[in-house]
Structure 1
């Protein structure tokens, strides 16, 4: 044991776990932790953005694109509340994250004294957006809880965790034993009997389909998924967060939109690593003849309102490998490939009507290398991208998931770029969303973060404006008063340019990628109003322009 402060115990335990970046904003309650980073500058880089919201977004982008825990640090009260949006997004998207949350002095916790940055039940608030959280009362607690939080964040179902540390605990000295890392246990495996029942369903299936979600990416289960799909001859429909689970170049790989063409004809559907309950995923409504298999790490992800089925509760990679070993190789790969091709062609036909969004998406895909990362924001182009942007590998396409967190794109991209300095990272935003975190241009410049920021500028909250006009035939509160983006970038010392066409955008991203530059680039893209994509995004809205063809090439069932 060594006599150390709580702040020293915190930083030393982070080092023992291999943490190399912490995204945090200093404040008086954190002083005795922040000062310790001076002693480990060559081992941990403390990156300080301009707003606490960015700390959690950066940790999210870092965690989801690297697979390592992204660590953020904020003061209590308003600092924690500002970081909540990024924690909520990370929770929704199963991001490996840890939040170091300051607290008020220990004697005041829960007493309502009105101390600086005090809020009611901060611990309860953090518990709502984390899978594990704890309040340290001693320096020994700090070391142990830091170890436990980091372990929990990257174990089983990856999700954010939090450790609250009062300032008196950070300052207190005690003999503290640093903890060795908890050995990663083999993730839980589905029960053998359930695997056998699922295999029997797949063996007897006439037309099986696999629906793959973000759990495949989080569990590094892409290879197991591909092997099973090929063995049983099943198209793979990917959710928004599941994109990249199997390369878009694979003949069985399909975006979520293709589920409308395939699932009504499937007799067995294997849902792997997906909650399968959001409007974009709850397609069981359109699969009246299917029997279901649910492979998920948590039993709750197989409960109602989902249709009953065979429940495989366990790790996605292990469960898929078990299924691969248990099923019989089926002679239906050619038929599955043909069905997937028909569904893909129908998707292409529907998406072709969405101009100019498709032109911008195609330019982005041509410009970004295969292993490059696209951070997809809620913008007119971004709404269409999950349906149309081909993703070639896991952890290369990042969304805010069901949180739909407007403004998350640029700061999340900063974290992703820091975690992947050798990859081209592009974050797209609309001018509305970009405005929520434009102060982080200062962070991009200060740390020379190689992020390409593409801002589609239409002078409005474009989606809100269109919906208001369509529903009410008038609009309010949607117009934006924008800055001159080039002057704004120049004021922060960020290089900027403008792309007036998809070809120009492609060329400018390619040039930036080839230059292997150190530093950010802002690309302004002026655009006009765009057609609504919602008939393709939301299965409960109006039907697509055309009825999906029967991918089996036969009359539809009655």
Structure 2
């Protein structure tokens, strides 16, 4: 007999799922019955939060949903933080969990792993949460989930299977083809109106967010067609290459970019929330848009959040860009154009602001000199905060971290593992601090087990340095921030990793060149010289 759990695996395999992250438990073992007979790879994290972060990193690299198998109760409470980060950053994630038998739901009798209402608990961090009450409903519920991933603003979806449903017969069911659902296209009249406003603009500005991550060709053409200085959110890094004359980087919170934004007469914002963690990381409300604002987003509600638009267009980013490009004049890149000159002035001003960050720039320059195609997956730590401003790369999906949106700690290591599993041939650098690493340190064992050769660049300042400075600036006596720092190198070696402390930049480059391909390398970088002024 083919059970529902076995059929689920077949259906996921048919729809392109190649990796599942999960920790087997007594309430999910029946989901695992079909996995050994499929082509799906299973990765075992050491905590369900790690499973969610790994799925997140995998999804950001591939654009496909990261899939997790999670047990009832504690498994679901453990993964909620990872789902919240994915929800905030619009990452596709499919969380399949068990739940108690249908006859036991909602009684509060103290059954193993029982929660009063698991689905309601998950609702706030998912596009939807569904309890499967009939085996025959499974293909339709999965189709709803993939419709979210393929044609809407992607976010986590949770499907829970009661224990008696997982083991029920699905012998009569056949694998269904994956539905092909088109993304929404903007109204032509609105797009033509937008094009007219942009053609008439004297000082245009282009703001691109993570919703544009798959539009590299169109984004570069649009910036040139508009002759518009272009700012990218953290999740949009790489849409314009570092040498592009219109690029402003990801510096919307800094004064030179803010002044240019306030002076712009027409602003085109595509696939961006215009949210705090990309436009106001100094938390002073200083990012202002005084000109006409045209917003394009796949999420109709997001069109009216944070900044009220003059013109709001509900559309997929790529489809809208293609229409606009057809309505705009064709131009070639010109480093002497008015837009390029405006951008150059801002970049010059930013360079002066960044003089105190020379040690961080040296750090990234040395990494990229050895690993020019590296992908950087970060936690909330000082190298990430500085790199958000300093680093520009030549393609999207190469720089992402948890300092945006939900802003959790402990993300960097498991997300880097997921990213490496998604594209094993590209080097992956995990940027993490000593505080954040202690949130997810056991996932080193997961990486060794999966033979994942990532580089963990551990920035060690012996505590929560950024929070300590934040307290001191507010005349608060630091408390709880000077935490005990273990011997990370010894611990990492105990897990089976390679581990060294970088003595200087030359030593760092050599360590990167010699990094093993089948296990993590932890490179500890002390905040003291030679890596700080």
TM-score (norm 1): 0.89
Counterpart of 2:125 in 1: which secondary structure? coil
Partner of 1:451: 454
The residue that corresponds to 1:212 in the other structure is 208
Question: Contact 2:463–2:481 (CA<8 Å) still a contact in 1?
Answer: yes
**SS state of the match for residue 302, structure 1?**
helix
Report which stretch shifted further, 337-346 or 499-508.
499-508
Query: C-alpha root-mean-square deviation of aligned residues, in Å?
Result: 2.3
Q: Write the deviation string for residues 432-486 of structure 1: whole angstroms up to 9, x where unpaired.
A: 0000000011101111111111111111111111111221252111112222112
298-307 vs 342-351, greater mean Cα deviation:
298-307
Q: CA deviation at 1:351?
A: 1.5
Structure 1: distance between partners of 2:450 and 2:498? 14
Q: In the alignment, which residue of structure 1 is the partner of 2:96?
A: 100
Q: Does 1:250 align with 2:265?
A: no
Alignment partner of 1:380 out of 376, 379, 382: 382
2:26 to 21, 25, 28: 28
Q: Residue in 2 aligned with 1:222?
A: 216
Q: How do residues 264-303 of structure 1 correspond to structure 2 at under 5 angstroms?
A: 264-278=262-276, 280-281=278-279, 286-287=287-288, 289-303=290-304
Equivalent in the alignment of 1:48? 44
Aligned equivalent of 2:232, options 238, 247, 259 = 238
What is the rounded CA distance, in whole Å, between the counterparts of 2:126 and 2:523 in structure 1?
35
CA–CA distance in structure 2, aligned partners of residues 528 and 111 of structure 1: 57
2:92 is equivalent to residue 90 of structure 1:
no
Deviation (angstroms), 1:281: 2.2
- In structure 2, the gaps of 5 or more residues are none
**Alignment: residue pair count:** 522
1:333-352 correspondence runs (5 A): 334-352=337-355
Rounded to whole Å, the distance in 2 between the matches of 1:279 and 1:14 is 34
Cα distance in 2 for partners of 1:491, 1:525 equals 19
Partner of residue 160, structure 2 = 164
SS at match of 2:14: helix
* In structure 2, distance between residues paired with 1:307 and 1:531: 43
Q: CA deviation at 1:306?
A: 1.1
2:14 is the counterpart of 1:16: yes
**396-405 or 255-264, larger mean C-alpha shift:** 255-264
Q: How far does the alpha carbon of each residue in 1:223-242 deviate from its partner, in whole angstroms, 9 at most, with x for none?
A: 11111111121111111222
Which residue of the partner structure matches residue 404 of structure 1? Answer: 407
Q: Which residue of the partner structure matches residue 527 of structure 1?
A: 527
Structure 2 residue 468 is the aligned partner of structure 1 residue 465 = yes
Deviation at 1:191, TM superposition (A): 0.6
* Residues 132 and 152, structure 1, Cα contact 8 Å, conserved in 2: no
TM-superposed CA distance for 1:165, in Å, is 0.9
Larger CA deviation: 423-432 vs 144-153: 144-153
Task: Work out whether residues 219 and 321 of structure 2, in 8 Å CA contact, stay in contact via their aligned partners in 1.
Answer: yes
Distance 1:226 1:375 in 2: 24
Return the offset for 1:23. Answer: 0.3
Secondary structure of 2:60's counterpart equals helix
Mapped partners of 1:529, 1:176: distance in 2: 67
Q: 1:187 to 1:150 in 2, by over 3 A?
A: closer
Change (3 A) 1:391 1:494: same
Aligned pair in 2 of structure 1 residues 178, 520: CA closer, same or farther (>3 Å)?
A: farther
SS of equivalent to 1:479: coil
Give the drift of 1:289: 3.6
Q: How is 1:323-338 mapped onto 2 (pairs within 5 angstroms)?
A: 323-329=324-330, 334-338=337-341
Alignment of 1:416 onto 2:416: no
Check 1:182–1:377 CA distance in 2 against 1; reply closer, same or farther (3 A cut). same
Secondary structure at the aligned position of 2:503 is classed as coil
Q: Secondary structure at the match of 1:299?
A: coil
CA gap of 1:144–1:38, structure 2 versus 1, over 3 A, is: same
The whole-number CA distance in structure 1 between the counterparts of 2:168 and 2:287 is 60
Counterpart position of 1:320: 321
Given that 2:499 and 2:521 are in contact with CA atoms closer than 8 Å, whether structure 1 keeps it comes out as: yes
Aligned residue in 2 for 1:393: 395
**2-side partners of 1:394 and 1:332: how far apart?**
20
1:358 aligns with 2:361: yes
Gaps of 5+ in 1: 533-558
Q: Are 1:66 and 2:69 counterparts? A: no
**Change in CA separation of 1:71 and 1:335 when aligned onto 2, cut-off 3 Å:** same
Counterpart-to-counterpart distance in 2, 1:22 and 1:57: 12
Segments of 4+ moved more than 4 angstroms: 282-288, 329-333, 529-532
Matched, 1:425 2:428: yes
> Residue in 2 aligned with 1:518?
518
* 8 Å CA contact 2:266, 2:293 repeated in 1: yes
Shift of 1:141: 2.7
Which residue is 1:80 aligned to?
Answer: 76
**For residues 294 and 133 of structure 1, do their structure 2 counterparts lie closer, same or farther at Cα, with a shift above 3 Å needed?**
same
What is the TM-score normalised by the length of structure 2? 0.93
User: CA deviation digits over 1:514-549, x for unaligned, max 9?
Assistant: x6x2222111111149999xxxxxxxxxxxxxxxxx
Q: In the superposition, relative to structure 1, how do residues 302 and 285 fare at CA in structure 2: closer, same or farther (>3 Å)?
A: farther
Change (3 A) 1:359 1:474: farther
Distance 2:531 2:289 in 1: 32
Shift of residue 312 of structure 1? Answer: 1.3
Q: Does 1:173 align with 2:194?
A: no
Question: How do 1:434-445 residues align onto structure 2 when only pairs under 5 Å count?
Answer: 434-445=437-448
Distance 2:376 2:219 in 1: 23
How many Å separate the matches in 1 of 2:330 and 2:177? 41
Question: After the TM superposition, which of the residue ranges 411-420 and 450-459 deviates more from structure 2?
Answer: 450-459
